[in-house]
Amino acid sequence: MTDAPHEKASIASLAMTRRMHRRRAAETRFRLYGRASVIFSMAALGWLLLSIAATGLSAFTQHWVDLDLDVRAESATDNDRRRLADALAGGFGVQADDAVRQELLALVSASAATDALARNAERSGATLRLTVPVSDQADQYYKGRVDASRPAAQRRLTDRQIAWLDRWADEEQVERRFNRGLFVNPDSRDPERAGLASAILGSVMIVLIAGALALPVGIGAAIYLDGFAPQTGWGGRLTRALEVNINNLAAVPAIVFGLLGLAVFINVFGLARSIPLVGGLVLALRMFPTIVIASRAALRAVPDSLTDSALSLGASRMQAVFNHKVPIAAPAMLTGSIIGMAQALGETAPLLMIGMVAFVTAVPESPLDPATALPVQIFLWSGSAEAAWAERASAAIIVLLAVLMVINGVAIVLRERLQRRRSL
């Protein structure tokens, strides 16, 4: 600040006020821009979450129907679908022909009901009491997603089918339940029986394997590059070249890692396609540069004076780095690593190349059994024809987001704890 002479105050203040106004106006404008961009991004995120929740939340419940099936008369045929259809027709008191059978089978989860029939094949003498999920279309109808006022040709359910469904509802045979199958069943082509078990387990295995490989290697590499690698002369040049290349590696599109995985792990090492072990190996490669870069940045943010003072007091380089530098950088390193793991959890492209974008009929029991991953399951479900898949895909997105939030939550809690310990 210069001491402006008082007699020029009136003239100076005019120019000064103008400049002052301009500066303040600039600041106000910037605040507005800032607020606008925050509002815009929050609105986009809110809209995304809302639209997913609006379509997906209903998939966490599913309607079930209690059936009393009289399968005695039809025991002559060994076609379970036909037996089921005839028994359903008997229940409604209608004559069964091909069209009626087809429409009746489209009301319940035919595969679940025929499985139950097959299980109870020896009890064909009595009336069979079954509780099965209703079909995807019927479920959509009970959830109010079918517009019965449209002309019959423009909806998936015929007038007859709607009348039958209403009759079940009137006789209180239908119950809306929590959709437990969504979490414990393997994938299915019937939306009402489809579950995420294979995908959740697959994702967990992939992330654990990738983390177990990439975390120690990535953090170790970062600490070495930061504290121990030569910084001068030819060695220094080599170190810098290495760092540039690790940065480049982080920018390589994910699909390239998938191709690499296919060429190396499957074609050279002869590991099987579609297994979480290969997925974990590929994603470990994908996570590695992210972890190195994040950890490097965290270590670089620690003031050199800290290690310098430790060194000057006679500590070895090892002691200076591990006892003084790493603990301070640990919270940020942890955050970076967890972000890397969360990214790996959401990756689809590399899994495509190693055959994990597949329909897997059984829940994996080990990392060597075929499995899929959560993002892959979302991709597969959203590409399927039946309308109910849109709902299930959104539900799978909600599950994936929940898992990511848990991971990020753990990261935040760990970071807070580490930071509190430092400020002691």
Partner 1 sequence: MCKAEDRRPGLGFRRLTEILAERLVIAAVLATGLWACAPRDRPPVRIVGSSTIFPFAAKVAETYTRRTSVPIVVEQTGSGGGHKLFCSGDASIDATTSSRPQKPAESAICAANGVAPVIELPLGFDGIVLARSVDAVPIRLDTVTLYHALARKLPTSATDCTPVPNPYSRWSQIDPGLPDEPIEIFGPPPTSGTRDAFVETAMETGARRFPCLAAMERDTPSLFRARVHDLREDGAWINSGENDNAMVRTLVDSPAAIGVLGFSFLNQNTDKVGGIAIGGVVPTSATIRSGTYPVVRTLYLYMKDGSAADVRGYGMEFLSDEASGPGGYLEEIGLIPLPDALRTATRQRLSDADKAESRIEGSEP
Footprint of partner 1 (CB under 8 A): 79-82, 85, 98, 101-102, 105-106, 110-111, 114-115, 118, 146, 150, 153-156, 187-190, 205, 208-209, 211-212, 215-216, 272-274, 277, 313, 322-324, 326-327, 330, 355, 357-362, 365-370, 382-387, 414, 418, 421-422, 424
Cα–Cα distance for residue pair 95/78, rounded to 1 Å: 20
Side chain identity at residue 203, one-letter code: S
Nearest approach in angstroms of CB 182 to partner 1 is 16
Nearest approach in angstroms of CB 178 to partner 1 is 23
- Spatial CA neighbour of 337 closest among 297, 374, 373: 297
CB closer to partner 1, 239 vs 333: 333
Nearest approach in angstroms of CB 156 to partner 1 is 5
Question: For residue 1, how far is the Cα from the chain centroid?
Answer: 56
Whole-angstrom Cα Rg for the chain:
31
CB closer to partner 1, 176 vs 189: 189
The distance between the two most distant Cα atoms of the chain, rounded to a whole number of Å, is 115
In this structure, the dihedral spanned by the alpha carbons of residues 149, 150, 155 and 157, taken in order and rounded to 10 degrees, is 30
CB closer to partner 1, 118 vs 241: 118
CB closer to partner 1, 122 vs 365: 365
- Spatial CA neighbour of 349 closest among 266, 274, 256: 256
CB closer to partner 1, 69 vs 310: 310
DSSP reduced 3-state for 69:
strand
Nearest approach in angstroms of CB 280 to partner 1 is 8
Nearest approach in angstroms of CB 108 to partner 1 is 12
- Spatial CA neighbour of 348 closest among 279, 411, 281: 279
CB closer to partner 1, 220 vs 235: 220
Cα–Cα distance for residue pair 21/352, rounded to 1 Å: 58
Nearest approach in angstroms of CB 195 to partner 1 is 12
Nearest approach in angstroms of CB 251 to partner 1 is 26
Cα–Cα distance for residue pair 271/215, rounded to 1 Å: 23
Report residue 176: phi and psi, to 5°.
-90, 125
Burial-class residue 66 by CB neighbours within 10 Å (0-12, 13-18, 19+): middle
Cα–Cα distance for residue pair 208/132, rounded to 1 Å: 36
DSSP reduced 3-state for 61:
strand
Nearest approach in angstroms of CB 244 to partner 1 is 28
Report residue 133: phi and psi, to 5°.
-65, 145
CB closer to partner 1, 239 vs 266: 266
Nearest approach in angstroms of CB 383 to partner 1 is 5
Helix axis angle for 388-422 and 326-345, nearest 10°, is 180
CB closer to partner 1, 239 vs 388: 388
CB closer to partner 1, 239 vs 299: 299
Nearest approach in angstroms of CB 264 to partner 1 is 16
List, as one string, the DSSP characters of 123-179: GTTSEEEEEEEBPHHHHHHHTT-S-TTS-GGGSSS-HHHHHHHHHHHHTT-EEEEE-
Nearest approach in angstroms of CB 354 to partner 1 is 10
Report residue 349: phi and psi, to 5°.
-55, -45
- Spatial CA neighbour of 262 closest among 341, 343, 357: 357
CB closer to partner 1, 10 vs 95: 95
DSSP reduced 3-state for 62:
strand
CB closer to partner 1, 108 vs 239: 108
